[in-house]
A and B are shown apart, each in its own frame.
Chain A
Amino acid sequence: MNFYDFHVHSEFSEGESSIEEIAKRAKLLNYKGICFTTYLDDKSKIKKTKEIVSKLSKKIEVDIFIGFEARNTSELDKLIRLRRDYDVLLVKGSDLILNRKAVETKEVNILTHPEYNRKDSGFNHVMAELAAENNVAIEVNFREILNSSKNTRANIMHKIKNNVELCKKYNVPVVICSGAVTHWQLRDPKVLISMGCLLGLELNEAKKAMSEVPENIIKMVKERQDEKWIRPGVKVV
């Protein structure tokens, strides 16, 4: 089974480790591919990251993707306009308006940690229906659990469990990511699958969240990057 981690930060965004260090560690932990997530500060970043990634991908034999994480609605609008230039579009959850906009937008692939820094879970049945309709995956972020402890960890896990339950009910794709900011925070896929099981997913669902769901995202992205693709359902033949 091929496993993917679609939310890893390198030194290009908030991370501490270099792309090479992370890619090597991912290879050691038997990942088929990883997605480096960064923020849109300037457009030249896309080109620069692409060049480094294409060299490394061949050298280390790990599929490397470039993802952009939108932190607010204006950034999301900008990223939608540049959608063909990168691979994965993630939206940083926490703000309710942004969470809602993310699940309403077909171009978005992943809504990361909707419960982040919130008292509630940041995700409800209306959003779940929209996410299922627009095929937006909801992320279970391991770093949130790793970096917290005691009552904070218990609260975070409770909120994630609620979101997972809603996702299961409304057939929303779930994706489990490490959210690592250093290569030391990358975890073995089996660890993330086990955590998924503790958060309410069945074993096959947790495995799917690390393999099938990311594979579907890649497939969709490649289809969209094709020159013949115009919009969902419309293609030059």
Chain B
Amino acid sequence: MKQKKMKILQPTLREKQRYIALQVISEESEELNYSDLEAAVWNTMLDFLGEEGVSKTSVWLMKDCWDQKRQKGILRCNNKSVQEVIASLGLIDRLGDNRITFKILRISGTIKSIREKL
């Protein structure tokens, strides 16, 4: 039997999102893949903010927005935890043997506007 779909929440009741466009600068311009980066973001955030802290951020590195060639992507979080998420990104300095750093390109409230500028 097909499961019944849940009714969508009203816009006022939904969590307000922020989208952070970022670029990864890595040593010798080595191309990083989505799964490595996602693991690094999760591990660092769990270390820095703790499990309870991360639960408040609703953080998600968007897979369909990751541009492997240009090393650009979009990170989604809620509007109350933008500072925590960006500060955590700053604490990622290595991915394996590769030294990396993040450039924050833009912070936006809608995915449409941030995709246009990416």
**Interface, chain A (partner B; CB < 8 A):** 25, 28-29, 142, 145-146, 149-150, 184-188, 190-195, 197-198, 203
Contacts and interface: CB of A to CB of B under 8 A. Distances in A.
Interface string B88-118: 0111010000011111100100000000000
A144 to B, nearest CB: 12
Given A191-B102, A194-B82, A142 B25 contact: no
B84 interface: yes
A191 B93 contact: no
Contacts of A188: 90, 101-104
A149 B47 contact: yes
Interface of B: 25, 27, 47, 82-87, 89-91, 93, 99-104, 107
B83 A198 contact: yes
13 contacts: A142-B90, A146-B90, A149-B47, A184-B93, A185-B93, A186-B101, A187-B102, A188-B90, A188-B101, A188-B102, A191-B90, A194-B85, A198-B83
B104 A198 contact: no
Contacts of B47: 149-150
Contact of B104 (A146, A185, A190, A197): A190
A186 B101 CA distance: 8
A194 B91 contact: no
B101 A184 contact: yes
Given A190-B104, A191-B104, 8 more contacts: A25-B101, A145-B91, A149-B47, A187-B102, A188-B90, A191-B102, A194-B82, A194-B86
Contact of B90 (A25, A28, A192): A192
